[in-house]
Structure 1
């Protein structure tokens, strides 16, 4: 057995990385803001070029906050989808209402394109740290993206500055089910040694 394989044979980090799943079905119980903040205190130790720390967080778990978020979603989809009717709105509200909490990850966008790219990479690393920590603590998350992250009206709804946008909307709660793993392409097929 190669030395590196021996080192990682029983690694809990390896197991955490391989077993973490995106959770889309949650129990009704909300994860407390204190628990989310505790996870974030460690997650922010992601690699970050020049330590710009280009993130901040908005946790939406109250009924009023979730209603505000649902209203933003509905307004956004009415704007971009001609066929967004009453039935689709009710389905969206029901789907969003079943999620116990939403962590809005705000990204500060630097004027410099290279710094912006480095900062988004750092935020992505931080989000992966967060998801792994959550998994270890029995908390499920799914990282949501899409055009809504760039919408200026949604930014205004949540008090973002002109130089900020959402990097992710992370649905959060205690898992109601654990999805099965999907097959990944072995890294060896994508690996070249020069």
Structure 2
């Protein structure tokens, strides 16, 4: 796998797709909102049926903002795991203290299930666009999902509207470690030509 290129050397689209990795260990350097915003300005050009633009974003980079999220996360965790040991909560606090920035991708949920599915596909495309654009700038991230994204109490704690939910929580920063490539199944084994 080639090393991440400097900003002066742009990645090809193919290289960005093939060599981007989910980053879970970050350097202690924040990615400012001024660095993130131009990436989002390009990422929103994701395919989006009927141009519903079903997204908005919340960004936490300051210690205070991240601490607020951690307290809300722990409240969610305790609600759903009343017998959780204090060690687990300490582990979560330590884990999140090492994440330089958190981007919450908010999805507007349409009442029509077809539109809702199309919108989730559009938001997923936007997230992949963002990951590829960031990788080209030497910025890594990991796309986190899970039950917390659907928890109404957590959504309310985070200020979401009634018709919104989280599509992802992205952990963002400069990579301290880049994982090795994981082999993928060849697309040719999954491709059927119709006649």
In structure 1, distance between residues paired with 2:65 and 2:41: 23
Task: Name the counterpart of 1:56.
Answer: 56
In structure 1, distance between residues paired with 2:156 and 2:191: 44
Q: Which SS does the other structure have where 1:129 is aligned?
A: helix
1:117-156 to 2 correspondences below 5 Å: 117-156=117-156
In structure 1, distance between residues paired with 2:144 and 2:122: 17
Task: Name the counterpart of 2:6.
Answer: none
**1:136-191 CA-partner distances (Å, limit 9, x unpaired):** 00000000000100111211122110000000000000000110000000000000
Task: Name the counterpart of 2:104.
Answer: 104
Q: CA deviation at 1:133?
A: 0.3
Q: CA deviation at 1:64?
A: 0.9
Which segments of 5 or more consecutive residues in structure 1 lack a partner in the other structure?
1-10
**1:77-133 CA-partner distances (Å, limit 9, x unpaired):** 111124412111111000011000000000000010000000000000000000000
Task: Name the counterpart of 2:65.
Answer: 65
In structure 2, distance between residues paired with 1:44 and 1:118: 15
Q: For this pair of structures, how many residues does the alignment match?
A: 184
TM-score of the pair, normalised by structure 1: 0.93
Task: Name the counterpart of 1:114.
Answer: 114
TM-score of the pair, normalised by structure 2: 0.92
Once the two structures are overlaid, the 10-residue window that deviates more, 156-165 or 113-122, is 156-165
Which segments of 5 or more consecutive residues in structure 2 lack a partner in the other structure?
1-10
Task: Name the counterpart of 2:85.
Answer: 85
4+ aligned runs moved over 2 Å, structure 1:
none
In structure 1, distance between residues paired with 2:95 and 2:84: 15
Give the CA RMSD over aligned residues.
0.9
Task: Name the counterpart of 2:8.
Answer: none
